[in-house]
Structure 1
Amino acid sequence: MDELYRKLLAQLEEGQDTVLAFITEGDGSIPRTTGAYMLVGREGRIFGTIGGGNLEYQAVLHAQELVQEKKSEYREYDLGTGEGKGLGMVCGGRVKVYFYFMNGAHGEAESLAQALAAQEQYRSYWIFFALDGTGIRVLEKEAWEMLPAAQEKAGHCRILELDGKTYYAEEFCYDGKVYLFGGGHLAQELVPVLHHLDFCCIVLDDREEYVDKALFPDAGQTMLVDFTKLDEILSIRKNDYLVIVTRGHRCDADAEAFALRTGASYIGVVGSRRKTKYVREKLEAQGFTGEQLDSVYAPIGIEIGSETPAEIAISIAAQLIQIRSAKTGKRKGAHPALHT
């Protein structure tokens, strides 16, 4: 989502009229759900997608017309097939797309900058798009929770009334940081992927050359540590993710022993089944129970036949998406990383 904000801000700073198209409602079989965003200018699509195919093609054409006309508009699309059945797509569902025209006249740049700042600092926030095309609002978590609408269990994307105006509203939340114990080749592949998925990554290693910020420009922080003294320097929350990808069995065991004492919601350890068995036996000897050890994802990641560090990174990222979705209760399209 941060890339979308940057591109929108660049368009506004350059004085370019722009339409932001996004799905606000959908039912049946549809290629993307609520919260899918697409940025369109005079020359066509700039960034993002609302599902591809004929839906996106027609939406881009309509957005270009609205750029010329300088107006916002709601439109519903029937994705059915056959004669007289809308766009002739096999999906068969229906979606409502809002086309928000902006040229900065309603202070959108300030709100987008506020949202971008929250995004970059992994602060939870709500963004509100006025459905009459007259402005964008951003409320961070604390301010949102003071509103009556926050008490309604209506999901992470919704249409609501706020101060007498109708908005499409969406929540962007960050439930925990990802601590990567080990800064080797796997971590170097994994951090950019997780950053793109809006996970905040902290990389820790006991080798100075593997916590060089140049290796991890996308990491929120890098730390030189002693794996036997992690208790002295880290304060882990329940919602954090602990990913153990150190250089060897001993460091893995030290990091996993620390992790098991934290109560973190996710602990994953890379390695072969033989290595996993070795570390488990060592931890059992330290007094950790079978129930505790069974809670660890080891070997880490979803089984996709991965072999290279890049492939393993994808399997780990997929598992973290799965865990995050289960924790937050969000459906597939609700998270910012799946919008753009």
Structure 2
Amino acid sequence: MKDIIHEIADALWNDLQKGKNSILVTLTSDKGSAPRSKGACMVVDDAGLAAGTIGGGNMEFLALQEAEELLKQKKGKISVFNLSGACGGKVEILFTFVAPTEQNKRAVYNMQRAIKDHKAGWLVLPFTAEKIGFVSTDGIAGIDIPVEKMEITSVKGCDTIDTSEGTYYVMMIYNSIRVFIFGGGHVAQKLVPMLRFIGFRCIVTDDRPEFAAPELFPDAEACYVRDYNELEEFYDIQPEDYIISVTRGHEGDFEVERFALRTPASYIGVIGSRTKHAMVAEKLKKIHFTDTDLARVTAPIGLDIGSETPAEIAVSIAGQLIEKRAGRTMHTMGGY
């Protein structure tokens, strides 16, 4: 779902507030080669495509035509599309008719509020009912079934759940990932706007005021001036958070890594050569960090795309974070 869920929620909410009907088009299954994987979705209203995409091309064109017809009939359905030509795959698409009812308004409002508050939740789509639901820590809206019966918390991506009350398609909407960037130099200045554009929340820290100035990072959620050896006092790192060290030298990297390895951060990346990383690793071992601890560190940070300039390095880092967020295998750079 990633950043597109913001557009989906806003489009649905705008239609519901205006008393308009919508069709939520969701790719629930993909086999073989398909332009998008399951979970891709789009909103169609009386004016046509309102937000999102399920992959473009002829498949999306046909799905858009079907959605427009279902919108006139005020109903939903499940369709299977066989992709001929280059793709050759097969996809199942769920068309959910969303009328401006109070329960649908509550569901979309709760989803929109959770997204803006950076909270996780689950979008719930019945296969046979003309309504949607959103489940979060605040409860459930728009689905007439107890949450505990759905085993919804077991869904970490997208899945179909069968219950005695019916079949539901469930998509997890993750917290927006926070990226703590230590070091506000040239790479960070190029990196932050890229990460913000692709849906990450950036927090920048430097031990020099001139490199943690908010005007340098208008796309950052926050900028702080902190001594790198005092980070434990200020930051509450969560398991979904990422930590990046792009400080000006190995002393800064040492302090950031020492801090990072004591947190549950799911990703720790450090800029610089393998030689520099080896020097920092030896210092960390002297204060009782193990090889297992150090294996958590990705260094040198970034995909191996031959990057040299700060902007190119920022692209390589952003690409690696996309891979991490998507749960794919990462290929690190060989050094700068």
Provide the TM-score with structure 2 as the length reference: 0.80
CA distance in 1, matches of 2:186, 2:192: 10
Q: 1:139 aligns with which of 135, 139, 144?
A: 135
SS of match in other structure, 1:96: strand
Deviation at 1:45, TM superposition (A): 2.4
Tell me the equivalent position of 1:92: 88
Tell me the equivalent position of 1:159: 160
Deviation at 1:23, TM superposition (A): 0.8
CA distance in 2, matches of 1:157, 1:221: 32
SS of match in other structure, 2:151: helix
Percent sequence identity over aligned pairs: 39
Q: Structure 2 matches for 1:272-291, cutoff 5 A?
A: 272-273=273-274, 275-280=276-281, 283=284, 288-289=289-290
Deviation at 1:275, TM superposition (A): 4.1
122-131 or 270-279, which moves further after superposition?
Answer: 270-279
| Matching residue's letter, 1:94 | K
Q: 1:59 to 1:308 in 2, by over 3 A?
A: farther
| Matching residue's letter, 2:22 | T
CA distance in 2, matches of 1:190, 1:170: 29
SS of match in other structure, 2:159: strand
Q: 1:218 to 1:69 in 2, by over 3 A?
A: farther
Q: Does residue 70 of the first structure (1) align with residue 74 of the second (2)?
A: yes
SS of match in other structure, 1:134: coil
Contact 1:44 1:61 in 2 (8 A): no
Deviation at 1:119, TM superposition (A): 1.7
Contact 2:20 2:100 in 1 (8 A): no
Aligned length: 320
Tell me the equivalent position of 2:98: 102
Contact 2:98 2:132 in 1 (8 A): no
Contact 1:40 1:60 in 2 (8 A): yes
CA distance in 1, matches of 2:111, 2:105: 10
SS of match in other structure, 2:13: helix
CA distance in 1, matches of 2:220, 2:151: 32
SS of match in other structure, 1:147: helix
Tell me the equivalent position of 2:332: none
Q: Does residue 180 of the first structure (1) align with residue 181 of the second (2)?
A: yes
CA distance in 2, matches of 1:211, 1:296: 24
Tell me the equivalent position of 1:51: 55
Q: What does the per-residue CA deviation read over 1:113-147, in whole Å, with 9 as the maximum and x for residues that have no partner?
A: 21122122222211112333522211115858961
Tell me the equivalent position of 1:191: 192
SS of match in other structure, 1:98: strand
Contact 1:122 1:200 in 2 (8 A): no
Greater relative contact order (Cα 8 A, min sep 6): structure 1 or 2?
1
CA distance in 1, matches of 2:153, 2:209: 49
> Gapped runs of 5+ residues in structure 1?
80-87, 330-340
Q: 1:117 to 1:247 in 2, by over 3 A?
A: farther
Tell me the equivalent position of 1:61: 65
SS of match in other structure, 2:298: coil
Tell me the equivalent position of 2:143: none
Q: What does the per-residue CA deviation read over 1:32-60, in whole Å, with 9 as the maximum and x for residues that have no partner?
A: 22110112233432322112221011111
Tell me the equivalent position of 2:314: 313
Deviation at 1:171, TM superposition (A): 1.3
CA distance in 2, matches of 1:71, 1:20: 11
175-184 or 53-62, which moves further after superposition?
Answer: 175-184
CA distance in 1, matches of 2:178, 2:63: 36
Q: 1:153 to 1:278 in 2, by over 3 A?
A: closer
Provide the TM-score with structure 1 as the length reference: 0.79
Q: Structure 2 matches for 1:212-227, cutoff 5 A?
A: 212-213=213-214, 215-227=216-228
196-205 or 283-292, which moves further after superposition?
Answer: 283-292
Q: 1:308 to 1:138 in 2, by over 3 A?
A: same
Deviation at 1:325, TM superposition (A): 4.2
CA distance in 2, matches of 1:280, 1:132: 56
Q: 2:40 aligns with which of 36, 42, 46?
A: 36
Give the CA RMSD over aligned residues.
3.3
Q: Structure 2 matches for 1:317-328, cutoff 5 A?
A: 317-326=318-327
